[in-house]
Amino acid sequence: MATARDLVPPPRVTHRRMVEADLADVAALENAAYMFPWSIGIFRDCLRVGYTCRVLEAPDGIGGYGIMSMGAGEAHILNVCVRADLRGQSVGRRLMGWLLDEARSAGQGWVFLEVRPSNRPAILLYESLGFAPVGLRRGYYQAVGGREDAIVYRLDLDVWEEQRARQGLAVRRDG
């Protein structure tokens, strides 16, 4: 049976390469999303060293971003963020899909990422895509009143490919 969510059209979001001119908007989203945000300089460094840096373009401006490093058969998703008003509408799932497709196209076999155990929405998103926990980094993150561990998640991109084919996940470039 169709739910109310099925009847609402998904947000019109495309993705493209992040450029220097996006950095102020990206940093503003980052500041709004995280208690311990990356500085604008970290994003600039990611661009400079040639990481895969993508922004989501919504009709009213930048709707999110994803940063990924790749090399030696492994990709590492370093940051994904969706603008607050676009969350809960499968935008994060599509953003992840685009990053995973790029990693696979570039010949990587595995994708790793870290997440705070307290970040339930992100954990549910990653697990729904097939990521599985493979380790714990103790005290990895800054946290209020101390440090927080990171769970390390890993995805086999062959599994991703199979899952995408099975579920017919929408990962078209124009979203």
Ligand X SMILES: CC(C)(COP(=O)(O)OP(=O)(O)OC[C@H]1O[C@@H](n2cnc3c(N)ncnc32)[C@H](O)[C@@H]1OP(=O)(O)O)[C@@H](O)C(=O)NCCC(=O)NCCS
Give the catalytic positions in this structure. Answer: 114, 126
Identity of the residue, 150 or 157, whose beta carbon is nearer to ligand X in the bound complex: 150
Identity of the residue, 107 or 153, whose beta carbon is nearer to ligand X in the bound complex: 153
Do 63 and 57 form a contact (C-beta atoms < 8 A)?
Answer: yes
Residue whose C-alpha is closest to residue 68's, from 97, 33, 37: 97
**Whose CB is nearest to ligand X?**
92
Residue whose C-alpha is closest to residue 95's, from 7, 16, 6: 16
What minimum distance in Å lies between the beta carbon of 149 and ligand X?
A: 13
**99 Cβ neighbours under 8 A, 6+ residues apart:** 52, 54, 66, 68, 75, 77, 80, 111
Given the rule CB under 6 A, which residues bind ligand X? 33, 80-82, 87-93, 115, 119-122, 124-125, 128
What minimum distance in Å lies between the beta carbon of 134 and ligand X?
A: 15
What minimum distance in Å lies between the beta carbon of 119 and ligand X?
A: 5
Identity of the residue, 23 or 115, whose beta carbon is nearer to ligand X in the bound complex: 115
Residue 168 falls in which region: left (phi positive, over 0), alpha (psi -120 to 50) or beta: left
List, in sequence order, every residue forming a beta bridge with 168; answer none if it has no partner. Answer: none
